[in-house]
Structure 1
Amino acid sequence: MPKSTGKQQYGNDSISALKGADRVRKRPGVIFGSDGLEGCEHAVFEILSNAIDEAREGHGDTITITRYEDKSIEVEDFGRGCPVDWNEKEQKFNWELVFCELYAGGKYNNLEGDNYEYSLGLNGLGTCATQYASEYFDALIHRDGFEYSLHFEKGENIGGLQKAPWSGKKTGSRFRWKPDLDVFTDINIPVEFFLDVLKRQAVVNAGVTFRFRNQVNGKFETTDFQYQNGIVDYVRELSGENALTTPVFWQTERRGRDRADKPDYKVKLSVSFCFSNTVNIIEHYHNSSWLEHGGSPEKAMRSAFVSAIDAYLRQQGKYQKAESKITWNDIQDCLVFVSNNFSTQTSYENQTKKAINNKFVQEAMTDFLKSQMEVYFIENPFDAGKIAEQVLINKRSRESAEKARLNIKKKLSGNVDISNRVQKFVDCRTKDTERRELYIVEGDSALGSVKLSRDAEFQGIMPVRGKILNCLKADFGKIFKSEIITDLLKVLGCGVEVHDKRAKDMADFDLMNLRWNKVVICTDADVDGYQIRTLILTMLYRLTPTLIQRGYVYIAESPLYEINYKEKTWFAYNETEKTNILDELGDRKYTIQRSKGLGENEPDMMWLTTMNPATRRLIKVMPEDVERTAQVFDLLLGDNLSGRKDHIAENGYKYLELADIS
């Protein structure tokens, strides 16, 4: 029987394009990586990037960023001032290009560095996108003997360009804006974000002062960051006085291309590092942007250090007979390393600039580090010996710990199949953890239905018998006496993230021991089902929060309605979808029924709506704000009785239709 998913028709009239400010305001995640606080923070960095580019070109040595109490932000530089007057070539005012045109700016066609040689803000999105995403945006610019001012509200210019003579010596740009809550879900950027970002920028922009002003009760608290010698001062600060080796600083420039058919570009490589048996920190920066996820420089550093240190160990006869080669982890454990690279052409993995993938940057940095390390070992034999000794200590300790862990694991698990030790657990056939999915269902009837519907190759089932304990209110003694909870933890296989003697039968948490790629909570779409779902989530949140933070936990959406017309069936997962389907059917004679509980569903329907990866709907449980999640769980399920009473008084009316009141 052909099935329909209930989606609206997709035809020629379905295509539409966002225009003007809506290109950012309606899709902020595309530009900023998120419509939450992280995206709002990235918008700040876009404006800051332009000020940094000016300072690095020698125009101004101080950048001031202000956090106001009303959540507005201001960035001021002492550069040349953003051009905003008439542009003869484009036949437009420059302010229109800078503030209202995506992919416009002064940094394109710049492979030879005629303007900004090594620029952080190369994409032409930042200033315009931030302006579009603001409740208001004010620009005050001094250049060419004039003072220019502009005012925008929700992406629209109000009043045009204001221009007046300026006799002051100062030049530069000052932008103040308030992120719009209609665009971002949260605009309360914490002080810690500013302090972290400005410190990092001071590290990689030697000699530039980054001044942070935070308004508290109408007064401003000021913090300055400056590293006169850049990353080498930073490495010295990180490693402290007891480092194994003295920090070194290496720098070079190279020219090359990512592909034979691509043009050449310049790369300026700078690294500073030392070895330590107490500290291990690695950070990469490219065109001043902190590469949180590394990319090309991370791969280059790993390859070069493993190759160079392994070659030295072999040359000096440091390995024992038949001893295995060192790994990157053995080096990482004792390395303090900061790279600060620049290129005239950069390929970021995405707009948020947390990793780059330039092939030539990786090749140039690998070659540079290998050759420098070889010379370093020759010129510093005493330090080379200390490095070799510490890396080998790390390696042998790691191997001993791994051997002990495997022996304990073997002793504890033996050869007993977990399916024989956990009542009614149904395993799947594959042992490939990248494919395995665990469906957590409520009761025996749901177990039977899901068992008939699943793909036994990769989908396992764990039934929850009765209502699980409220793990926020129960103490660990009760929690670990609950057979439901301990059985579920055994099936997961990753242990627990609590250190309590009553959890003696539970192993310490180890994500590598998780037996599943997806943990799917599958309950009925009714009040009882939602409560069981919440209790399971609460258990996971308290005992294995990393599973939620790393995105392993999902909720399977069950349809609320089944709508039939002749031989076609539609499934509606909410009231809006039901209305749309009924509107589409019009006056045709259809039947509609509220979906049954999971245990009453036909296997083909269960497979189509809940189990089939191609047609099911899964919601990934990945809270961006763990603190907020904890507060909500505590409010709804914890001991905060007065808070829960207030919450019900304020919001209960919204859910009266769902309440079981007779």
Structure 2
Amino acid sequence: MADNKVQYTEDSIKSLDWKEHIRLRPGMYIGKLGDGSAQDDGIYVLVKEILDNSIDEHMMGYGKTIDLKISEHKVEVRDFGRGIPLGKVVDCVSKINTGGKYDSGAFQKSVGLNGVGTKAVNALSEYFRVQSFRDGETKIAEFERGELFEDKKVEKTSERNGTKIVFKPDPTVFKNYHFIPEYLENQVWNYAFLNAGLSINFNGKKFYSDKGLHDLLDRRIDEESKRYPIIHLKGNDIEMALTHSNQYGEEYYSFVNGQFTTQGGTHLAAFREAIVKTIRDFFNKNFDAADVRQSIVASIAVRVQEPVFESQTKTKLGSHSVGPDGPTLRTFVNDFIKTELDNYLHKNQETANALLKRIMQSERERKEISGIKKLANERAKKANLHNKKLRDCRVHYDDKKGNEEAKNNTMLFITEGDSASGSITKSRDVQTQAVFSLRGKPLNCFGMTKKVVYENEEFNLLQHALNIEDGVENLRYRKIVIATDADVDGMHIRLLIMTYFLQFFPDLVKNGHLFILDTPLFRVRNKKETIYCYSEEERRNAIAKLGNKPEITRFKGLGEISPDEFGGFIGENIRLDPIILNKDTKIGDLLTFYMGKNTSNRQSFIIENLKVEKDIVEVESNAKKAADKAPLETE
């Protein structure tokens, strides 16, 4: 028996070099991989890691401009800081725990302090090039997946001081990746808002902010939704902006040393607490905290020495003090808000009155639904014990402990009909993928109050499954995926679900949690290979590749795709289309047009966008030509 056991000897102990470790365990360094469909996917973290270094240079007073170019698979970042010391160019991008930020005199209150970021980008890129310009001289080094293959000698240059990094993410690590322009723009805008006076030229467009976080809120919320002008306050190492809107939920944007902490942390918890306390004291009324914060849209940015984040991706702050000898972060934030927000409200009575009016409205709405809310929650508790609608997974996004990569991969599929739910349930990853099954078309909740969320059993159970009744900070799944057929009924159900989230939980959508599952339209196969196609173009390419008249199947709905096949579409090759709200998207107008009773407007839109007979004939003619060359399809 002993002979069959794995031997544990000196040979069992392995030492990986830095690049091997990063490539073997990328999640430890960049959070998660992904294909670019989520705003915190690894390819955006790579961009951030390089930009952070340029921002730190700017913060130290070197360089007012950063040039950024991103094409489909290549990123270029050129700053005009001091430039990496020429003798250390190779070391700074290829030796772990090497960098200038260990010298606290050279970098105060910067984001990257552990000397890992740029090295992770190097190791996870199929091509990486660094060039430093310093005092009339320049040096270039080139790498392939972290391996140095070109170390050029120092040469003379007439270019301004600074550093230029070029890299191409490795497609063997980031499979089927693509950059989504809106995510990149949001990322660049955040850098601009947090560094008033810095110009970032991104793909020929200038990103610049004069008013910092005031501009951030201006971009995030349309003028008609603001209940009062944005309150914008600045102090040493702290800045905040605040207003209330007409939407449901709470919406926050928090930052530490220029890092967008998407999961909040100590500073955001202190901020939310301080706002409630200050407003209660100002009005001398013991408001319910939920009424004060309902419909808030706010942002806070702090700068602290030696910040402690809860992971390498720095999305949640764990620090509890401003610096080694400074006050606790809670005290620091509370003291600032208590003084500055109180002063502002005393000086701006009109704003104070509008704020009070919004709080009183939230209080009335809460009391109106308190009775039905209690009954609905009791009903939901009983249903949760035997909830046939929810097939849960084992790992959740809000778990206090556990693997970060697994938590970031959690998703809830919202499906319609037993056949589609059955296929996904049987083929899903039970660790991270859950399924919520609708019994048919949900209610069109446009224009209704939040009371309907509790009155409608299906909406209430969905709210409980997601754990978003009291806000999105306890969200149980990182991604909410609408999985419906691509026919007219499926599209309608998709719109109804999106209306539910946009109407009552818009912050969920704005924070990038809502997606549409992309499923294949065709299966093209021969005896040796099967290719799933998501478009007509992919179908044509597949036919050309397989040749010799392969078998083609046209999928009509999710229910007819076998569970074995479905596993291939929701695994590591899953394709998701994110629901993105840009600056010009006004939720009220959007929902009124698509889901309201403006029938004549919608009719005109449909008529104007209908394909005329000539277009249809042309499409059918092209389809017939393609069909003549291809075999008959099976259905």
TM class by shorter chain equals: 0.5 to 0.7
Q: Distance in 2 between matches of 1:298 and 1:232?
A: 17
Number of residue pairs the alignment of both structures matches: 446
Per-residue deviation, 1:140 = 2.1
Q: Distance in 2 between matches of 1:146 and 1:310?
A: 60
Q: Indicate the residue corresponding to 2:331 in structure 1.
A: 363
1:310 and 2:300 equivalent? no
Q: Indicate the residue corresponding to 1:98 in structure 2.
A: 92
Larger Rg: 1
What percentage of residue pairs aligned between the two structures are identical? 23
Unaligned runs of 5+ in 2: 36-40, 322-328, 394-416, 424-434, 445-454, 468-482, 498-511, 525-531, 554-563, 566-635
Paired residues of 1:206 and 1:228 also in contact (CA < 8 A): yes
Paired residues of 1:495 and 1:508 also in contact (CA < 8 A): no
Q: Indicate the residue corresponding to 1:124 in structure 2.
A: 115
Q: C-alpha offsets along residues 521-578 of structure 1, whole Å, 9 cap, x if unaligned?
A: xxxxxxxxxxxxxxxx989xx88999xxxxxxxxxxxxxxxxxxxxxxxxxxxxxxxx
Q: Which amino acid aligns with 1:351?
A: Q
1:293 and 2:293 equivalent? no
Query: Taking structure 1 as reference, are residues 152 and 650 closer, same or farther at Cα in structure 2, changes over 3 Å only?
Result: farther
User: Bigger shift: 72-81 or 304-313?
Assistant: 304-313
Q: Which amino acid aligns with 2:315?
A: K
Paired residues of 2:519 and 2:534 also in contact (CA < 8 A): no
Q: C-alpha offsets along residues 409-449 of structure 1, whole Å, 9 cap, x if unaligned?
A: 77xx699x879xxxxxxx78xx9x9xx9879xxxxxxxxxx
Q: Distance in 2 between matches of 1:269 and 1:202?
A: 16
Q: C-alpha offsets along residues 444-477 of structure 1, whole Å, 9 cap, x if unaligned?
A: xxxxxxxxxxxxxxxxxxxxxxx9534799xxxx
Q: Indicate the residue corresponding to 2:305 in structure 1.
A: 344
Q: Distance in 1 between matches of 2:221 and 2:43?
A: 33
Query: Taking structure 1 as reference, are residues 170 and 332 closer, same or farther at Cα in structure 2, changes over 3 Å only?
Result: same
2:74 paired residue among 72, 75, 84 = 72
User: Bigger shift: 292-301 or 334-343?
Assistant: 334-343
Query: Taking structure 1 as reference, are residues 10 and 506 closer, same or farther at Cα in structure 2, changes over 3 Å only?
Result: farther
Paired residues of 2:93 and 2:119 also in contact (CA < 8 A): yes
Q: C-alpha offsets along residues 75-113 of structure 1, whole Å, 9 cap, x if unaligned?
A: 11111112231xxxxxxxx12320111121101141xxx
Q: Which amino acid aligns with 1:469?
A: S
Paired residues of 1:494 and 1:510 also in contact (CA < 8 A): no
Q: Is the partner of 2:150 in helix, strand or coil?
A: coil
Q: Indicate the residue corresponding to 1:27 in structure 2.
A: 25
Per-residue deviation, 1:205 = 0.7
Q: Indicate the residue corresponding to 2:569 in structure 1.
A: none
Q: C-alpha offsets along residues 305-345 of structure 1, whole Å, 9 cap, x if unaligned?
A: 11122233435xxx7xxxxx4123x2333323221211221
Q: Distance in 2 between matches of 1:414 and 1:102?
A: 51
- For normalisation by structure 2, the TM-score amounts to 0.61
Q: Distance in 2 between matches of 1:29 and 1:237?
A: 32
Per-residue deviation, 1:10 = 5.3
Per-residue deviation, 1:289 = 1.1
Q: Distance in 2 between matches of 1:109 and 1:16?
A: 32
Per-residue deviation, 1:11 = 5.6
What are the equivalent positions in structure 2 for 1:491-530 lying under 5 Å apart? 498-499=441-442, 507-508=458-459, 510-514=461-465
Q: Indicate the residue corresponding to 2:362 in structure 1.
A: 394
Q: Which amino acid aligns with 1:393?
A: Q
Per-residue deviation, 1:380 = 3.1
Q: Distance in 1 between matches of 2:182 and 2:163?
A: 25
Q: Is the partner of 1:355 in helix, strand or coil?
A: coil
Query: Taking structure 1 as reference, are residues 346 and 634 closer, same or farther at Cα in structure 2, changes over 3 Å only?
Result: farther
Per-residue deviation, 1:201 = 0.8
Q: Indicate the residue corresponding to 2:56 in structure 1.
A: 53
Q: Indicate the residue corresponding to 1:82 in structure 2.
A: 84
Q: Indicate the residue corresponding to 2:47 in structure 1.
A: 44
Per-residue deviation, 1:203 = 0.8
Per-residue deviation, 1:180 = 1.0
Query: Taking structure 1 as reference, are residues 164 and 355 closer, same or farther at Cα in structure 2, changes over 3 Å only?
Result: same
Q: Which amino acid aligns with 2:71?
A: Y
Q: Which amino acid aligns with 1:367?
A: D
1:205 and 2:195 equivalent? yes
Q: Indicate the residue corresponding to 2:345 in structure 1.
A: 377
Q: Is the partner of 1:359 in helix, strand or coil?
A: coil
Unaligned runs of 5+ in 1: 86-93, 214-221, 254-267, 320-324, 420-426, 440-466, 474-491, 517-536, 547-622, 653-657
What are the equivalent positions in structure 2 for 1:405-484 lying under 5 Å apart? 405-407=373-375, 469-470=419-420
2:216 paired residue among 234, 251, 264 = 234
Q: C-alpha offsets along residues 181-214 of structure 1, whole Å, 9 cap, x if unaligned?
A: 233224322222221111111111101111111x
Q: C-alpha offsets along residues 352-372 of structure 1, whole Å, 9 cap, x if unaligned?
A: 111112112233112221232
Q: Distance in 2 between matches of 1:651 and 1:371?
A: 69
Q: Is the partner of 1:60 in helix, strand or coil?
A: coil
Q: Which amino acid aligns with 2:138?
A: E
Q: Distance in 1 between matches of 2:260 and 2:142?
A: 31
Q: Distance in 1 between matches of 2:341 and 2:118?
A: 41
Query: Taking structure 1 as reference, are residues 151 and 408 closer, same or farther at Cα in structure 2, changes over 3 Å only?
Result: closer
Query: Taking structure 1 as reference, are residues 23 and 409 closer, same or farther at Cα in structure 2, changes over 3 Å only?
Result: closer
Q: Distance in 2 between matches of 1:274 and 1:513?
A: 28
Q: C-alpha offsets along residues 116-145 of structure 1, whole Å, 9 cap, x if unaligned?
A: 222122221111111111111112221022
Q: Is the partner of 2:206 in helix, strand or coil?
A: strand
- CA RMSD in angstroms, aligned pairs only: 4.4
Query: Taking structure 1 as reference, are residues 496 and 346 closer, same or farther at Cα in structure 2, changes over 3 Å only?
Result: farther
- For normalisation by structure 1, the TM-score amounts to 0.58
1:274 paired residue among 226, 238, 243 = 243
Query: Taking structure 1 as reference, are residues 281 and 470 closer, same or farther at Cα in structure 2, changes over 3 Å only?
Result: closer
Q: Which amino acid aligns with 1:336?
A: V
Per-residue deviation, 1:244 = 3.4
What are the equivalent positions in structure 2 for 1:188-203 lying under 5 Å apart? 188-203=178-193
Q: Distance in 1 between matches of 2:85 and 2:551?
A: 51
Q: Which amino acid aligns with 1:248?
A: I
2:136 paired residue among 127, 140, 145 = 145
Q: Indicate the residue corresponding to 2:508 in structure 1.
A: none
1:246 and 2:237 equivalent? no
Q: Is the partner of 2:17 in helix, strand or coil?
A: coil
Paired residues of 2:69 and 2:202 also in contact (CA < 8 A): yes
Q: Indicate the residue corresponding to 1:572 in structure 2.
A: none
Paired residues of 2:268 and 2:300 also in contact (CA < 8 A): no
Query: Taking structure 1 as reference, are residues 649 and 370 closer, same or farther at Cα in structure 2, changes over 3 Å only?
Result: farther
Query: Taking structure 1 as reference, are residues 144 and 283 closer, same or farther at Cα in structure 2, changes over 3 Å only?
Result: same
Q: Distance in 2 between matches of 1:59 and 1:272?
A: 27
Paired residues of 1:284 and 1:338 also in contact (CA < 8 A): yes
Q: Indicate the residue corresponding to 2:315 in structure 1.
A: 354
Paired residues of 1:103 and 1:123 also in contact (CA < 8 A): yes
Q: Is the partner of 1:499 in helix, strand or coil?
A: coil
Q: Is the partner of 1:292 in helix, strand or coil?
A: coil
Query: Taking structure 1 as reference, are residues 226 and 437 closer, same or farther at Cα in structure 2, changes over 3 Å only?
Result: closer
Paired residues of 1:493 and 1:515 also in contact (CA < 8 A): no
Q: Indicate the residue corresponding to 2:621 in structure 1.
A: none
